[in-house]
């Protein structure tokens, strides 16, 4: 069973929640890590986020702005993107078009194909 999306006390997560994407990217590039699995990221503008290598599995992206992101090297298994803006984004090849569409329209959690 999937964990529910969480609002976390983690300082890196709080940077994302507060729209400080550039600071998050800078600290991540410097080697700082964070557990972002099952994060509640709904409604956030994440267009400038450096997502490469992040584990965002189980996260909740409802109504988030993910336009233009290259998510191919990002773990999104079990994430939900209901109503998210994804135009111009690359999504992991492990996700079928059907999984993406179901999540966008109905909020289902995306399952990677085996």
DSSP lists the bridge partners of residue 39 as 6
Nearest to 41 by CA among 75, 6, 71: 6
The pLDDT of residue 2: 57
| Residue that the structure tokens 């939900």 belong to | 80
> What pLDDT digit, counting tens, does each position of 14-65 carry?
999 999 999 999 999 999 999 999 999 999 999 999 999 999 999 999 999 9
pTM assigned to the model: 0.92
> Are 25 and 52 a contacting pair, CB within 8 Å?
no
Domains along the chain with CATH numbers: 1-114 (2.160.20)
* Whole-number Cα distances in Å, 71 to 1, 9, 24: 24, 25, 17
């Amino acid at each position: 069973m999937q964990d529910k999306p969480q609002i976390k006390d983690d300082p890196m997560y709080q940077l994302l929640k507060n729209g400080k994407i550039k600071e998050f990217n800078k600290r991540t590039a410097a080697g700082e890590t964070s557990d972002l699995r099952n994060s509640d990221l709904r409604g956030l503008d994440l267009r400038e986020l450096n997502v490469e290598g992040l584990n965002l599995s189980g996260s909740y992206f409802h109504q988030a702005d993910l336009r233009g992101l290259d998510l191919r090297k990002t773990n999104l298994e079990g994430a939900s993107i209901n109503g998210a803006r994804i135009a111009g984004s690359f999504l992991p090849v492990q996700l079928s078009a059907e999984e993406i569409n179901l999540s966008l329209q109905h909020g289902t959690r995306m399952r990677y194909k085996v």
